[in-house]
Homo-oligomer: A and B are copies of this chain.
């Protein structure tokens, strides 16, 4: 498809959908409410939205959808760190019912027992999976869950009068950047530990960094390299020894469910991503959802509202005074709560263990196959097994051919494969991160590796072919330099028309001159 921008489809007078008319009885009672608006409150001209009949709107978005690769369509091994699992279709069917869709959080709890029971059940499952005492499902995303972690940690120290004193958070460079970023937003100074020469988190460096100023360590484990920190318990103990809390980002838990648990290593708080580890779909980038699990000591700090079971019925309670309050509307992303619950119930203990073990088997099989490709390497922990993913490097291939990892990724798309090029932080040179999860068959993994090997071969034999990719996509090579120049970036259609064609919309208003603001 060569599908225009939606505004280009507009024909004056077309309607996409009709709205009920104001009832005559209402009209008679209230008159012309628009004309009666106070001075200046009536919009001078209608918004310049496009006018398009229904079928064409549908067609537009269906065509756009076809210009997209969901995990239902491709072999999504290339989105390492993202844990792209199969999102079972039955789970989508289970949520698409009026009993969830047409439910309001302020309804009589007698009418929402099913939803409340779902929340309660998943909390209990997550407590068992993490080994923790209490769980909240309120956080509407993985990073949001990390924020909830640090907000609780901050409230905990504040409740003990140590809020001022403890102003540092320690993380590792291969932990997800949101750990560092959320701690910063919470007001903390962030200290980042780099790995030792083997790629393992450096316990010595941690101990050197810990002090009575440390509020918490916030770490991902296994890290985005797929390496599990064998000294994780020592890390937690060291943190505890200085009065700090230990926060566990379980974004990479897909290989360790039923193998090892956060609480067993001593952690005080952790969060799981329901949209990764527990199979809820990624929705083009959200909604996501996190489960925050905490020890009994941190339970009073969990966000509200809380669901409790009393005499077999489920009741909603506002959280207590120590709580960090509300972190999102209502009870969190109920869609993902039901999906995650259904996924766990479809598998059970044996199934979750099998999922972890097969994810790890797939990953180590993939590791072996990738390392057979000339020019590819897996930095750190050479010769050791990995958990569920590996951060690889094309450095050798780059040195030999000048082809970058990003260029290889774009060429991979020509073969119908994803390959994510965001590998924060850019510590590994020419990185690529692959995570096969338990959901791909050997045949699909082999297919992916074959394409990767093919592109690596092309990098040597026909580098221009790789450099000028894509050749087989909806669009052609794009000019990214447009995007970093404020004079040229175009974040909306109206800005594009204004900047490139001088069309200033009638309702354009200039930014305020915040004269004092720069001061």
Contact = CB atoms under 8 A, between A and B. Distances in A.
Interface of A: 1, 9, 11, 14, 53-56, 58-59, 62-63, 66, 72-74, 86, 88-89, 416, 439, 441-444
Contact of A11 (B54, B62, B443): B443
Nearest to A70: B62
Contacts of A66: 66, 73
Nearest to A346: B18
A55 B439 contact: yes
A343 to B, nearest CB: 13
Contacts of A441: 11, 14, 53, 56
Contacts of A442: 11
Contacts of A58: 72, 89
B444 A86 contact: no
Copies of this subunit: 2
A86 B443 CA distance: 40
Contacts of A86: 54-55
A444 B57 CA distance: 13
Contact of A54 (B14, B73, B88, B444): B88
Contacts of A54: 86, 88
Contacts of A444: 56
Contacts of A439: 55
A12 B519 CA distance: 71
A444 B72 CA distance: 31
A476 to B, nearest CB: 16
B56 A63 contact: no
A365 to B, nearest CB: 15
Nearest to A58: B72
Contacts of A73: 59, 62-63, 66
A416 B444 CA distance: 30
A-B pairs, top 8 by smallest CB distance, nearest first, are A55-B86, A62-B72, A62-B73, A55-B439, A66-B66, A58-B72, A59-B72, A11-B441
A361 to B, nearest CB: 15
A88 B55 CA distance: 8
18 contacts: A9-B443, A11-B441, A11-B443, A14-B441, A54-B86, A54-B88, A55-B72, A55-B86, A55-B439, A56-B441, A56-B444, A58-B72, A58-B89, A59-B73, A62-B72, A62-B73, A63-B73, A66-B66
A56 B89 CA distance: 12
Nearest to A61: B72
A441 B54 CA distance: 11
A126 B88 CA distance: 42
Given A54-B88, A55-B86, A56-B441, A1 B416 contact: yes
A236 to B, nearest CB: 36
A1 B416 CA distance: 8
Centre residue among A11, A55, A416, A444 by max chain B CB count within 10 A: A55
A480 B246 CA distance: 69
A79 B53 CA distance: 21
Contacts of A11: 441-443
Given A1-B416, A53-B441, A58-B89, 11 more contacts: A11-B442, A14-B441, A55-B72, A55-B86, A56-B441, A58-B72, A59-B72, A59-B73, A62-B72, A63-B73, A66-B73
A333 B439 CA distance: 38
A89 B59 CA distance: 12
Contacts of A14: 441
Nearest to A63: B73
A63 B9 CA distance: 28
A63 B416 CA distance: 11
Contacts of A62: 72-73
A439 B53 CA distance: 9
Contacts of A72: 55, 58-59, 62
A106 to B, nearest CB: 26
A72 to B, nearest CB: 6
A88 B53 CA distance: 12
Nearest to A442: B11
Nearest to A73: B62
A442 B11 CA distance: 10
Contacts of A74: 59
A393 to B, nearest CB: 29
Contacts of A416: 1
A81 B439 CA distance: 45
A438 to B, nearest CB: 10
